[in-house]
Structure 1
Amino acid sequence: MVEMLLEMGIKDFRVLDAMSQIARHQFLDEAFWSRAYENRSLTIGYKQTISQPYIVARMTELLIEKASGRAKIFKKIIDIGSGSGYQSAILSFFAEEVIGIERIKPLVSKSRSTLLNLGIKNVSIINGDGYVLDGLKNVDGIICAAAPPEIPEDLIKILKKDARLILPVGFKDMQKLICIEKQNKNSYEKIEVEDVAFVPMLGGISRNGD
């Protein structure tokens, strides 16, 4: 998979190293194991998907782009729409603490079990609403794996200065991957990276996956 990512333009060796150490098939039902290392999104149930390896790598690369060093270069990162837990597992290489926010409770339970089985101890998965992150502030970065129709300003507010928010924005068939870098309390820089296709970002909490 690393060779595929190199060919697709992923250049940060830190990201490639992390991707090489996390077995993607562990986050999928056994029926999908034969396709786990293809560059495609795959269903994880409840109308949700695990993102393409390229997208996981690209979003991670954008998040850590300006940070020097290896290992735990951040204190706290938020992963909204954590789903299977795969993106959170990749982020575990770069932060002392990763908080995954997932609105669908059965996916929370399943991803917690997967991460526990893999021995990943610095990731916690919370059943919550990605639009409402009460109590969180001064975080070092946010990745969002679901597309809101517009940029959620409340997410920018909880970022540290110079921290980044990486997320898709838009409606079905009209989404852009956006990199936002917070400049100060009231301003930020926005860069449109590329066209993407994600599930919509919904509010609220789902107890049974509906």
Structure 2
Amino acid sequence: MKTPLKPPFDSAGKLSSAGSRPAFPVQLNSGKGNSFATKTVAAAARATSNNGGNGQNDLKKPFQPGASDGFGLDSAVRARMVRRLAEQGVLDARVLAAMGAVQRHHFVDTALANMAYEDTSLPIGFGQTISKPSVVARMLELLQQGLTDASGRLGRVLEIGTGCGYQAAVLSHLATEVYSMERLRGLHDKARENLRPLRLANVHLLFGDGMHGFAKGAPYAAIIAAAGGEAIPPAWTEQLAVGGRLVAPLQDASGAQALAVIDRTPQGIRQTLLEAVHFVPLKSGIG
């Protein structure tokens, strides 16, 4: 029997600081200063603007942002969100462009649309939430580091926890193919409804128990999870390609969570714990 990966805990059951330093820079602007951040944001803003504000290179949306939204939530609002993300340390130009291209307010309830571009999680029903933009961007940036192919894109990605479909839409800009699994039928149906108008040919929505992953699509260049447990399910690392990366929250016995990066190398599995995060618990089964 294979033992699930567990984070390093100390004798008190708390997350240990040992080995908690990332093997790569946490911030990407080291030694580059504000000018690098400014150029990166400008590039992302141009990508959003050139795509008519809705990412037409990858997203074929039937509606336009702005007045037709009824909220004035146009590309300028998303551009301000992108600038805030860069100021917080997310400087990967592809991630910033993808975040600026996807209309987050179309993935939340109408009553919450005016809060869609604030850096906050929002309820999406069924006891679940849509993650903060900063958390989504941070996790996607971690996936991007060292995983892009010659075209500059991620390869095949497995997402555990589709939720409302927002992160899958952002991933569609970064990956060649996205398999997204959701265990709650209501959310799976909601994500399908939200994503249907976008006609994303490289996104595949799956209803099932994410603890088992999706072996038919393996191996994956990257796996990302939107729920945290005390161990990484063995199926996830088994389905991760050699050279691939997994980003997911892990929790200790007290329920405190930390963001974990797991790399599958030719020599084996390498795990790094980063900053504290807060996600819904990882559960098995479907509902």
Change beyond 3 A, Cα 1:131–1:38: same
| Equivalent-residue separation in structure 1 for 2:153 and 2:284 (angstroms) | 30
Amino acid at match of 2:228: A
- Report the CA distance between 1:31 and its aligned residue: 0.8
Find 2:262's aligned residue among 180, 183, 187: 180
**Offset, 1:92:** 0.6
Matched, 1:34 2:34: no
1:81-110 residue CA offsets vs partner (Å, 9 max, x unmatched): 110111111111122210110000011111
Residue 173 of structure 1 deviates from its aligned partner by 5.0
SS at match of 1:131: helix
Among candidates 57, 69, 85, match of residue 165 of structure 2: 85
Matching residue of 2:18: none
Deviates more, 1:63-72 or 1:12-21: 63-72
**3-state secondary structure, aligned to 1:135:** helix
CA contact (8 A) 2:120 2:132 kept: yes
Does structure 1 residue 7 correspond to structure 2 residue 87? yes
Match of 2:190 in 1: 110
Percentage identity across paired residues of the two chains: 39
CA RMSD in angstroms, aligned pairs only? 1.7
Structure-to-structure mapping, 1:1-210, within 5 angstroms: 1-68=81-148, 73-133=153-213, 134-170=215-251, 173-184=255-266, 187-206=268-287
Which structure has the greater CA radius of gyration?
2
Residue type at the aligned position of 2:236 = L
Which runs of 5 or more residues in structure 2 are unaligned?
1-80
Distance 1:69 1:130 in 2: 26
Q: TM-score, normalised by structure 2?
A: 0.68
Amino acid in the other structure paired with 1:153: P
Asked if 2 retains the 8 angstrom alpha-carbon contact of 1:173 and 1:197, the reply is no
For 1:58 and 1:12, locate their aligned partners in 2 and report how far apart those are by CA, in whole Å.
9
- The 2-side partners of 1:130 and 1:138 are apart by 15
Q: Which has the higher helix share?
A: 2
Deviation at 1:64, TM superposition (A): 1.0
Q: Distance in 1 between matches of 2:150 and 2:173?
A: 8
Offset of residue 118 of structure 1: 2.2
Report the Cα distance in structure 1 between the residues aligned to 2:235 and 2:243, rounded to whole angstroms.
Answer: 16
Q: Per the alignment, in what secondary structure is the counterpart of residue 283 of structure 2? A: coil
Deviation at 1:67, TM superposition (A): 3.1
Deviation (angstroms), 1:137: 2.2
Deviation at 1:68, TM superposition (A): 4.2
User: How far did 1:135 drift?
Assistant: 2.9
SS in 1 for 2:124: strand
| 1:7-61 deviation line (CA, Å, top 9, x unaligned) | 1110101100000000101110101101100001100000000000001000000
- Where structure 1 has 5 or more consecutive residues not aligned to the other structure, the ranges are none
- SS of 2:248 mapped into structure 1: strand
How far apart, in 2, do the equivalents of 1:179 and 1:52 lie? 19
Once the two structures are superposed, what CA deviation does each residue of 1:138-164 show, in whole Å capped at 9, x if it has no partner? 111100000011122221111111100
TM-score, normalization by structure 1: 0.92
Tell me how far 1:69 sits from its aligned partner. Answer: 6.2
Contact 1:70 1:94 in 2 (8 A): no
CA separation in 2, counterparts of 1:194 and 1:12? 19
